[in-house]
Structure 1
């Protein structure tokens, strides 16, 4: 029989808290917390050993503390264990027990000996409690069977007034018969938000950040420090999703960098914690599968809906390149985890096409709301600051296999659907006891899946917490260890999860509705107002590459992809500020290629009705460019541009110039100023920069007329010279005659 607990001598300070931020049962836990807070009485379950029972006679010890924070002494308290003699029927019943906090769902069993009286509890004091039980006692009079048994710890006063209740589970798993050992793949994200904007530092050893939040998260209880702690102890089968933009930022921080300030930028020395974090992460993930997300985690659905056809493929490619360069050589890009785990057919097509011949996606990791089981409804919820959805299990329903096949324009794509309940158990809890309660819920849920009827082959289960989670390393590490130890689970890599081969298994376990993407999901995306200027910047950024002779990838690819990050969904104001910075940088680079002599005060002269006018282009970039110079007349009736065999210039970098001689013809008898428009174009014909207006001044004289006038002027000049010479000669003769006359006299 259940034995009466004895009062222990240990005093502990504990706080009742929910299992997780969005864990099923959170509402219940919050209810208990609220009750305890109002009444100043805190009930905590601190230990359940063993984690699950293997034999009918195994002694299960449940212990915890009761703390009086009312400020006054309390008397007549009773702590007792309530239990149920039948295991829960399915996951729906388990969910109901955890979330429905009415008396109807409380376990009915409460033996007179399964109680502990506390005659008095002084203000601020704690009273430890402990109960023991066995599976055989739980299932009396029948023999216990594999399953999950609900229990509750209840605190009453004066024999009737309930002050607090905490619910949890005891799992009984006898060694025979052995349940089907399902495959469990766990995906954990290492995703942050952009902290840099531009990859064009002022100095070779300088990088500019928009904030310095990363520095604080690397040490102590910072988010990245916690993620590293988890990575160091995680089983090697856990799959990590790595945003290479985070690696990029931390690499830049390992050197001197600059943080933009309200007034002036602030110089920062190299952060040794950044280099240490990177080194530790490389060591921690040396044997674990790593998947690189598209660079900067772009909002793929939004890009698909607003015509960013090439950016997704480039993001997949760049994410893989950076992760390979900064983390380790073996990094996959074939699995995509979209924002909030949601996408539609348009986004799926972009991912599947990717960058043809370079990088494509063959699997997508989705929420169960995006690909629900047939006949189940999706209901909205909020998960760690991100709006997403969860699918509730219907009574009698079995857990579907995690895989399904989707069809894109590039062919079939495998969908990996995360289990919503198990995934949210990995979300951080709020206080003492939450790790224990999450562990017991995890054991119960996975045992319930293993006990579902009709199983003949192992199913695949996928766990994936929210992508920008702020994890509790103690909780996550405990769940990972538990998952690795449970006999009805087999941890496996995410890339090894494949759809069932047998037809019966496919029918029974992978029957899901199609992609479900609601209007509310669409509203969560980056909108047209935000993305329109980003698209303009992306177009100009591409031109900075196309204008060069070698045409390497644009130096602004990473900057543009950061602007499309899904992190800006809830931070559009910050995203717009970043957009302006990138726009300024792209414009400044485009302005390094200029048409010289475009000042209206410096007209170019066309002598006569036809001639050649030079148009010069200066290249201040450090690389060679290939540019086509397109010249058109603003008034072809007055000034016509003569077609020429080529208009292309190849100009060296660092301030070199190239000149195109443009033949023009003016209408007869016309003189004065005319205008032409010069447009630079890339070698594939795309306009580069804004068109430039040049003033052409015509004299109205033809070439022959100029020759005649010149000849006439020459004749006139010769006549004048002859006349002057004759006068000089005549004067000399007159002077000589006068001299002879004087001598004769």
Structure 2
């Protein structure tokens, strides 16, 4: 009876739970009961980006995808509004943790009655601005709230996307005074270094062919060029852009335009982006002509990490002084002494950069003191807007997966800095997107058009970088007025490379130095040895790139540098006869062939290993001409008869191994001098001992007869 009662109570509890779950109305307070990701939302379109007097409604479209393990039914969505932002600190906190969206709400709209695993549906919301309560000028947080009912669960919030929306007043700017000066850096950089091999005679080999897609129409890098080009009609806005270029990207694209190869799982194949690379370089060259250009560190290198690698050259100098490359490929000289690193600002790195000629470093607010170069900080609040898409709940995604959210947040931050919320900064606003930002042409254009609307409203004054740098003083470490502002990658800090990576890169540098010391210019080729060694230094610099995500990536990049050293050293080889060598005498010389496939002269040292039956004579270091093949007879003395194996190898005079070890099989029927002496001594001893024995026997027999 007790068991029956317990069973009945359990049934009653389950029925009540199902009843209440079925009667829940969509609500912003609904919380996901399943911690696993079920829905993912990607914003596709939002208009207006900046609300002005003529706008009456907000429209948002998005794609909703079921990424969970079960069907979801009754999916609905609504837009909700949070409190108006009035200070930079408040907006900084909102970017980290959005406040409750209770100031206004649209009607709930249906998205899909049922969404099976892996299926997608289009979401479209149109909400009157009056219904959302967007009356007063300012910056407002928006919440796109997605509710649904997953199988085996109740109605809950399954995904949410946080947005920011600037609202202008009826007469434009909501404040008096002069508009805020705004300048924007426009970076061109690879998302990660691609070069894994550089040959003096066969061009570059890339790790994959992703750059071909980025350079093609509609690709990331192509969009950066075309979107900026589209703003020439607004001369002030276009002149406020300063293009920041990574010399490694320029060299890579230039190599692609001349024909390149790609490493795949099935082997090395020809790359497909040659024409796109050639066209993109021409378009970039036209875009930056007579315009502001600044330099990024080579391959996004961490300058602080470079100071930790022992080298006979100054690696920081190599990473920050590539204006000649930019001039050669873009026909323009970047702003002298101006550098925009992604991070790695240790005191030692700053000092070495200053020693290399860097006078101005554009950076995030940092506690690092000036070390010979002036620090000019970009706006951390705007950078936080770029860095955070701020999606949350089970549909959370990185900012790079929501570029529309990131650029919209950055525009809103610029508007707040310009006084839309009632607080205007007294300093110019320097806008600095992530070096590797991944934004479509449409979204880039929307962002620039939004800045143009802020310009028309009298909030911002597009200003050139040169003017901004001339009006700001050295950064004083301390409070920037945006305490708590998030920094996605802590750009002011230096990466601490794993010890094994530092050791590998140090070995690469020491080997490169030794190889260079063994090389010299061949008069017939006139190729400088540094042209062969420089790619090794660049491989080391790439291995410190801040584009790498974790220690595993750094280790792979270090192995790539190590592999390039082996590829270079393998161009100098020694070979031996394929058939056994029969020695006619104990002093017969040993034949070897030395090959140098490099366009420089190289001095090599011949070494014999595993040769107990052989005594080589002293072998002088041998100079090899460029692209030569010579035969040598190595004097040696055979110590024993028979068949035996010796190993022949090459190295630099400093000890770096060159090429592969060759095996030589020897057959000897002759005795060496030592062997003859030993044999003669043994024979003489045998005769003496035998004679002594015969003498003693004869003496004994004589005594017996007597």
Partner of 1:213: 210
Q: Is residue 2:268 matched to residue 1:295?
A: no
Q: Is the 8 A contact 2:214 2:220 kept in 1?
A: yes
Distance 1:698 1:431, change over 3 A: closer
Distance 1:229 1:651, change over 3 A: same
Partner of 1:652: 625
> Which one of the candidate residues 173, 181, 188 is aligned to 1:190?
188
Distance 1:71 1:558, change over 3 A: same
Partner of 1:47: 48
> Which one of the candidate residues 217, 223, 227 is aligned to 1:226?
223
> Which one of the candidate residues 416, 419, 428 is aligned to 2:379?
419
Partner of 1:553: 530
Distance 1:681 1:447, change over 3 A: same
The equivalences for 1:138-537 within 5 A come to 148=138, 168-172=165-169, 178-192=176-190, 193-200=192-199, 204=202, 207-219=204-216, 221-234=218-231, 235-268=238-271, 271-308=274-311, 310-317=314-321, 319-332=322-335, 334-339=337-342, 341-354=343-356, 360-368=357-365, 370-371=366-367, 406-408=369-371, 412-426=372-386, 430=402, 439-447=411-419, 451-452=423-424, 455=426, 459-483=427-451, 485=455, 487-498=458-469, 524-537=495-508
* Deviation for aligned residue 1:506: 7.5
Q: Is the 8 A contact 2:184 2:432 kept in 1?
A: yes
Distance 1:253 1:247 in 2: 10
Partner of 2:700: none
Distance 1:614 1:90, change over 3 A: same
Partner of 2:152: none
Partner of 1:398: none
Superposed CA RMSD:
6.1
Q: Is the 8 A contact 1:197 1:559 kept in 2?
A: no
Distance 1:424 1:93 in 2: 13
Gap regions ≥5 residues in structure 1: 1-29, 52-58, 139-146, 156-161, 355-359, 372-404, 608-612, 702-745
Distance 2:125 2:622 in 1: 85
Distance 1:699 1:34 in 2: 92
* Deviation for aligned residue 1:470: 0.8
Distance 2:353 2:268 in 1: 38
SS for the counterpart of 2:47 is strand
> Which one of the candidate residues 536, 548, 567 is aligned to 1:569?
548
* Deviation for aligned residue 1:593: 4.1
* Deviation for aligned residue 1:326: 2.2
Distance 1:572 1:82 in 2: 40
> Which one of the candidate residues 568, 590, 604 is aligned to 1:589?
568
TM-score by length of 1: 0.58
Q: May I ask how many residue pairs the two structures share in their alignment?
A: 564
SS for the counterpart of 1:265 is strand
Distance 1:80 1:314 in 2: 51
SS for the counterpart of 1:284 is helix
Distance 1:260 1:640 in 2: 43
Give the stretch that moved more between structures: 177-186 or 232-241: 177-186
* Deviation for aligned residue 1:262: 2.0
The structure with the larger Rg is 1
Q: Is the 8 A contact 1:364 1:413 kept in 2?
A: yes
CA deviation profile, 1:552-572 (whole Å, cap 9, x unmatched): 314242354234241563265
Distance 1:477 1:423 in 2: 18
SS for the counterpart of 1:305 is coil
Partner of 1:625: 601
* Deviation for aligned residue 1:211: 1.2
* Deviation for aligned residue 1:334: 3.0
Distance 1:419 1:259 in 2: 39
Q: Is the 8 A contact 1:48 1:61 kept in 2?
A: no
Distance 2:627 2:109 in 1: 89
Q: Is the 8 A contact 1:624 1:652 kept in 2?
A: yes
Distance 2:109 2:538 in 1: 65
Distance 1:254 1:148, change over 3 A: same
SS for the counterpart of 1:245 is helix
CA deviation profile, 1:352-382 (whole Å, cap 9, x unmatched): 334xxxxx322222223x34xxxxxxxxxxx
